[in-house]
Amino acid sequence: MAFLTMLGEIESLASQHEVIGERLRNDLCPQLVEKCRQLRAMRKKQYQDFEMMEKHLQARVDELAKQKKNYECVLVLAT
């Protein structure tokens, strides 16, 4: 009798776990997939923005080096 009662309780617990698992799969998983997709898209955009900023920065550094070189040439010619 006690064994059958224990089996009944285990079956009930297993059913509860199954219901929880189905709810997680049906309710939570789609939301997680969508959030992951959004985060991947955001990361990709931020990386592209970073690359563009880095190119602009490098262009400004190169321009500054060129202007410095021109300025030094003018100073040498002026003396």
Structurally, the chain folds into a number of domains equal to 1
- Mean pLDDT taken over the chain: 94
pTM: 0.62
The domain of 49 spans: 1-79
Return the percent helix, strand and coil in the chain, to nearest 5.
Answer: 95, 0, 5
Q: Distance between CA 57 and CA 29 in Å, rounded?
A: 41
**Average of pLDDT values for 50-76?**
95
Confidence band of 77 (pLDDT split at 50, 70, 90): confident
